[in-house]
Amino acid sequence: MRCALISVLLLAAASQAQAADPEAGKRKAEVCGACHGLNGISVSAEIPNLAGQKAKYLTLQLEAFKGGSRKNALMNAIAAQLDDADIANLAAFFSGLPGAGGGTATSEMPAKVATTRVRFPDSYKTTFTAYTKINFPKKKQVRTYYANEIALAAARAGKPMPHGAVFFVEVYKTKLDAEKKPVMGDDGFLVADKLAAYTAMEMQPGWGRDIPEILRNGDWNYAVFTPDRALKPGVNQAKCFACHKPLTDTSYVFSLKQLQDKARMKN
């Protein structure tokens, strides 16, 4: 009798753990919508559709991203924050949506993730500190990294980045030689040619409030600007959030160490 009761309870517990809840999946999927589309039809060609995909396949992929056996900087960061129930619910939700032909893209991007509050820092040349430069030979780019006074002061004090901090990057195409290879300068840096873009991250009070937790980088917002200093259209801020997200130890900044070194030198 007792034995039977226990096995009934165990069975109930087991089936409860397995029963996926597509409605809970739908609520969780708001954050996925920034890239895969709220309807599971993705926003761009390099992001797969999830709508109508088999639940088992989706589950296996999410587990592989979470465990790290499938590698993608964006999805590894996101899947790390999902538990088994989230994965089952999300797989149930997306597998239940109607699929689409290969050419279709969705324009339904959640506005709160897509919209950036960062504006071009007009006086950066005179008020920011250039703290490092990095060669990107494969991309045929060389980039110069700037930080504003607030970021520099926090780096000097060894403190986390506070509200008001701004990081700003000039992305240059490199000069190319006759074989279209980037030209190296005497200083060990690729020789800059035309400016290709600017990238930026800025932290202000409340800027993270509307961003879903799985993507949120504290109060940082991100932006890309064209060489004529306009916001570049069609930039998916969710990608910036996802890739910088794991860097909680360095206030979501990759090159914090370089800024700290520079700040101490300037001291």
Q: By C-beta, is 20 or 224 nearer to ligand HEC?
A: 224
Q: Is 254 in the site for ligand HEC (CB under 6 A)?
A: yes
Shortest reach from residue 205's CB to ligand HEC, in Å? 19
Q: Is 145 in the site for ligand HEC (CB under 6 A)?
A: yes
Stretch of 2-10, 14-22, 182-190, 247-255 contacting ligand HEC, by CB under 6 A: 247-255
Stretch of 15-23, 97-105, 153-161, 194-202 contacting ligand HEC, by CB under 6 A: 194-202
For 61-85, b/e burial (b = at least 16 CB within 10 A) is bbbbbbeeeeeeebbbbbbeebeeb
Q: Residue 71's Cα: distance from chain center in Å? A: 15
Count Cβ atoms below 10 Å from residue 106 Cβ, excluding itself.
18
Give the interface size with ligand HEC as a residue count (CB under 6 A): 38
Strand-by-strand arrangement of the 141-147 sheet? 129-136, 141-147, 166-174, 192-203, 220-225
Longest C-alpha distance within the chain, in Å?
86
Q: By C-beta, is 58 or 192 nearer to ligand HEC?
A: 58
Mask: binding to ligand HEC, 83-122, rule CB under 6 A, as x and -?
-------x--------------------------------
155 and 256 Cβ atoms separated by less than 8 Å: yes
Token pair recorded at residue 52: 């109508």
Q: Give the whole-angstrom CA distance, residue 37 versus residue 49.
A: 8
Residues 150-169 touching ligand HEC, rule: CB under 6 A, are: 167, 169
Stretch of 10-18, 31-39, 148-156, 189-197 contacting ligand HEC, by CB under 6 A: 31-39
Q: By C-beta, is 84 or 177 nearer to ligand HEC?
A: 84
Q: Give the whole-angstrom CA distance, residue 32 versus residue 201.
A: 22
Shortest reach from residue 50's CB to ligand HEC, in Å? 6
Count Cβ atoms below 10 Å from residue 9 Cβ, excluding itself.
10
Helices (H), the chain: 2-18, 22-28, 33-36, 55-67, 73-79, 84-95, 111-114, 124-127, 149-157, 237-244, 256-266
Q: By C-beta, is 134 or 196 nearer to ligand HEC?
A: 134
Q: Give the whole-angstrom CA distance, residue 40 versus residue 29.
A: 9
Q: By C-beta, is 11 or 48 nearer to ligand HEC?
A: 48
Q: Is 192 in the site for ligand HEC (CB under 6 A)?
A: no
Shortest reach from residue 179's CB to ligand HEC, in Å? 25
Q: Give the whole-angstrom CA distance, residue 267 versus residue 265.
A: 5
Write out the residues near ligand HEC by the rule CB under 6 A. Answer: 31-32, 34-36, 47-48, 50, 58, 61-62, 72-75, 78, 90, 134, 143, 145, 167, 169, 199-201, 222-224, 235, 238-240, 242-244, 253-255
